[in-house]
Amino acid sequence: MIKSHRHQVVYHLYPKSFQDTNGDGVGDLNGIRKRLGYLQRLGVDMIWLCPVYTSPGYDHGYDVADYTSIDPLYGSMDEMEALIDEASQHDITIMMDIVANHTSYCHEWFIASEHDPDGPYGDTYIWRDEPTEVESFFGGSAWTYSSIRQQYYFHSFAKEQPDLNWKQSIVAKEFAHILSFWIEKGVRGFRFDVIDLIGKQFHPHRWLDFERVQEGLREMMASVDRSNLLLVGEAGGLSPSEIRQLQEEGLLDVVFNFETCALDEVAGKNKWHLQSFDPAELKKTIKKWQDEMEEDGWNSLFWNNHDQPRVLSRWYDDDIRAAKMLVLLQLTLRGTPFIYQGDEIGMTNGNIQQSDYQDIETLRYLQQGGAIQSVQLKGRDHARLPMMWTKEGGFSTGTAWLRGMTHVDRNVHDQQLDDDSLLQVYRRLLSIRKAEPALLDGEMKWHETPSTMIAFDRIHGEQSLRILVNLSNHSIQHRIKMGKTLIGVGDYCEEELGPYAAVLCYTF
Ligand code: ISL
Ligand code: CA
């Protein structure tokens, strides 16, 4: 059974870069409150907030020191409550980011574990007398020695982010409390950070233990009423059938995998080894996941996130026509769409000076002699540049925490005044999507097309919609009949789609 709240459209918001209100150069909760009208007019249903909890900030909040408090950098708990309340007055709900695989090294559980091995939190992290050879995702050994406990602890990411030991049921119980805390505050969704990593084995390397992931989710959610929640898992390591199992059991509704994001990476190498993007491969990947999830599964639909710099720059040379094509495709495929802040105005990677990079992963890579060309395309800071509200920026009256220029004409103010802008295409598509059950629940029927063109019907009872998309910058001839057009972008006519053209029409 597909829960209807999977039909919601989620706006993925990076608070640090959305809107600053006190001039310290860092976005804040009051900034989000100020922009709720904008988000409502855009037509989104839910906001996924990247972490705003108390944190020393080594990984911009993905190193949480207290899951039930707000970092003063972003505001206060009163402001958080006001945000939840005011959002609901705008028909928008809030999704919190739950980082369950690891905490900050400043979290009280870690301090207890380090100082009191025999106490109740002694085994809540992963301790060994000898490290194994495994590397952390941010480079270097995944084990760090604690001179206090005189043992090594394991960290999938930075040494400031020790991994929790999900074999100890106290961990799941703690997270159950955290979920209840936020549900009581009115939160209606959770996005679980790297949730596939909570199940792991170590002999001699790390590998994924799916049963443990499943068990961990079950334990954490045993006492939680899930019927009104949208549950999203970031889980790049799970297979389609594992994802379907979790969905079937209602443990997760939507799962992120990163196959499309990795299309410009050399297979088997790390993310910095780049290859040129081939739109024909994009088509294959989209079709593969739509087919895999066809029967009893459900997809996540996204192009960018706070870790994935803009595909518009990586794949499409910043071409705004491609941005219009991409959103038409995203909002007509089967699944839950996630719009990452700035997508709707065509924000691109920026021009960031080498000395201005801030992200821990990028800084490590550069220290180890990494290639600046790779960083310009794949460095995570590019996805985190401040939102462009006006030509001048409009993000902060002070100096933004992260500096880097993006296209000045890609801003909310100008696009609100221009009927042909990308922002207006987003608004129109979002309102069409709400009104057309075929786009939400319809089955997929694919048409045979040239390698860089996608065409499919969405069929729901008597109703049927047709979508034609040119993923390339070459014109494509085709023979698929078009009905009355609901919305189209780029140049197209009956038998031809111009560069990056895309059409949504009725079928007859
Ligand atoms: O960022 C990546 C590549 O540059 C991803 O591999 C990323 O590490 C992975 O998707 C996990 O991301 C999540 O957990 C990380 C955090 O740094 C990311 O911001 C978060 O989205 C550790 O909490
Ligand atoms: Ca601020």
> How many CB atoms sit inside 10 A of residue 212's CB?
16
In a domain? residue 437:
no
| Euclidean distance between CA atoms 82 and 88, whole angstroms | 10
Give me the catalytic one of 20, 174, 234, 344.
Answer: 234
Q: Which of 193, 196, 362, 364 to mutate to test the pocket of ligand 1 (most atoms within 8 A of CB)?
A: 193
Same domain flag for 248 and 359: yes
Q: Which of 137, 270, 308, 384 to mutate to test the pocket of ligand 1 (most atoms within 8 A of CB)?
A: 137
In a domain? residue 161:
no
In a domain? residue 249:
yes
Pocket of ligand 1 (CB under 6 A): 59, 62, 99, 137, 157, 193-194, 236, 271, 306-307, 361, 380
CA of 14 to the centre of ligand 2 (A): 13
Can you give the CATH number for the domain in which 271 is found?
3.20.20.80
Same domain flag for 62 and 129: no
Q: Which ligand 1 atom is at minimum distance from the Cα of 378? A: 4
Q: Note if 193 is an active site residue.
A: yes
Q: Which of 60, 62, 164 to mutate to test the pocket of ligand 1 (most atoms within 8 A of CB)?
A: 62
Which of 326, 317, 280 is CA-nearest to residue 426? 326
Q: Are 170 and 164 in contact (CB under 8 A)?
A: no
Can you give the CATH number for the domain in which 485 is found?
2.60.40.1180
Same domain flag for 381 and 324: yes
| Euclidean distance between CA atoms 289 and 281, whole angstroms | 13
In a domain? residue 256:
yes
Return the ligand number nearest the Cα of 399. Answer: 2
Q: What is the DSSP string of 296-314?
A: T---EE-S-BTTB--HHHH
Give me the catalytic one of 28, 59, 193, 381.
Answer: 193
Q: End of a domain among 375, 407, 431?
A: 431
CA of 307 to the centre of ligand 1 (A): 6
In a domain? residue 438:
no
Q: Note if 234 is an active site residue.
A: yes
Same domain flag for 418 and 453: no
Q: What is the DSSP string of 40-108?
A: HHHT--EEEEPP-EE---TTTTSS-SEEEEE-TTT--HHHHHHHHHHHHHTT-EEEEEE--SB--TTSH
In a domain? residue 322:
yes
Q: Helix or strand or coil: residue 153?
A: strand
Q: Helix or strand or coil: residue 454?
A: strand
Q: End of a domain among 385, 403, 431?
A: 431
Return the ligand number nearest the Cα of 257. Answer: 1
Can you give the CATH number for the domain in which 122 is found?
3.90.400.10
CA of 441 to the centre of ligand 1 (A): 31
Whole-model pTM: value is 0.97
| Euclidean distance between CA atoms 99 and 201, whole angstroms | 20
HEC states along 25-51? Answer: CCCCHHHHHHCHHHHHHHCCCEEEECC
Q: End of a domain among 389, 408, 431?
A: 431
Alpha helices (H) along 185-256? 210-221, 240-248
Name the burial class of residue 253, with classes exposed (0-12), middle (13-18) and buried (19+) by CB atoms within 10 angstroms of its CB: buried
**Position 407, amino acid:** H
CA of 461 to the centre of ligand 1 (A): 41
Q: Helix or strand or coil: residue 361?
A: helix
Alpha helices (H) along 185-239? 210-221
CA of 118 to the centre of ligand 2 (A): 42
> How many CB atoms sit inside 10 A of residue 479's CB?
9
Same domain flag for 72 and 87: yes
Same domain flag for 269 and 127: no
Q: What is the DSSP letter of 421?
A: S
State the total domains in the chain: 3
For residue 75, the Cα-to-chain-centroid distance in whole angstroms is 23
Same domain flag for 96 and 112: no
Q: Which ligand 1 atom is at minimum distance from the Cα of 361? A: 4
Same domain flag for 135 and 64: no
Q: Which residue puts its alpha carbon closest to atom 16 of ligand 1? A: 62
Q: Are 309 and 383 in contact (CB under 8 A)?
A: yes
pLDDT values of the chain reduced to their tens digit, one per residue, 508 residues: 456 899 999 999 999 999 999 999 999 999 999 999 999 999 999 999 999 999 999 999 999 999 999 999 999 999 999 999 999 999 999 999 999 999 999 999 999 999 999 999 999 999 999 999 899 999 899 999 999 999 999 999 999 999 999 999 999 999 999 999 999 999 999 999 999 999 998 766 658 999 999 999 999 999 999 989 999 999 999 999 999 999 999 999 999 999 999 999 999 899 999 999 999 999 999 999 999 999 899 999 999 999 999 999 999 999 999 999 999 999 999 999 999 999 999 999 999 999 999 999 999 999 999 999 999 999 999 999 999 999 999 999 999 999 999 999 999 999 999 999 999 999 999 999 999 999 999 999 999 999 999 999 999 999 999 999 999 999 999 999 999 999 999 999 999 999 999 999 999 7
In the sheet that holds 443-446, the strands lie side by side as 443-446, 453-460, 463-470, 502-506, 485-489
In a domain? residue 162:
no
State both tokens at 466: 């047709």
Peptide bond into 204 cis (omega under 30): yes
| Euclidean distance between CA atoms 348 and 261, whole angstroms | 15
Full domain range(s) for residue 500: 443-506
Q: Which of 194, 306, 340, 366 to mutate to test the pocket of ligand 1 (most atoms within 8 A of CB)?
A: 194
CA of 403 to the centre of ligand 2 (A): 15
Buried b (16+ CB within 10 A) or exposed e, 332-347: bbbbbbbbbbbbbbbb
Q: Which residue puts its alpha carbon closest to atom 12 of ligand 1? A: 194
In a domain? residue 42:
yes
Same domain flag for 235 and 305: yes
H-helix or E-strand spanning residue 503: strand 502-506
Same domain flag for 449 and 478: yes
Q: Which residue puts its alpha carbon closest to atom 1 of ligand 1? A: 307
Q: Are 283 and 450 in contact (CB under 8 A)?
A: no
Phi-psi region of 249 (alpha: psi -120 to 50; beta: other; left: phi over 0): alpha
What pLDDT, on the 0 to 100 scale, is given for residue 295?
Answer: 85
Same domain flag for 239 and 305: yes
395 half-sphere exposure, CB direction, 13 A CA radius:
26
Q: Which residue puts its alpha carbon closest to atom 11 of ligand 1? A: 194
CA of 117 to the centre of ligand 1 (A): 29
Same domain flag for 142 and 276: no
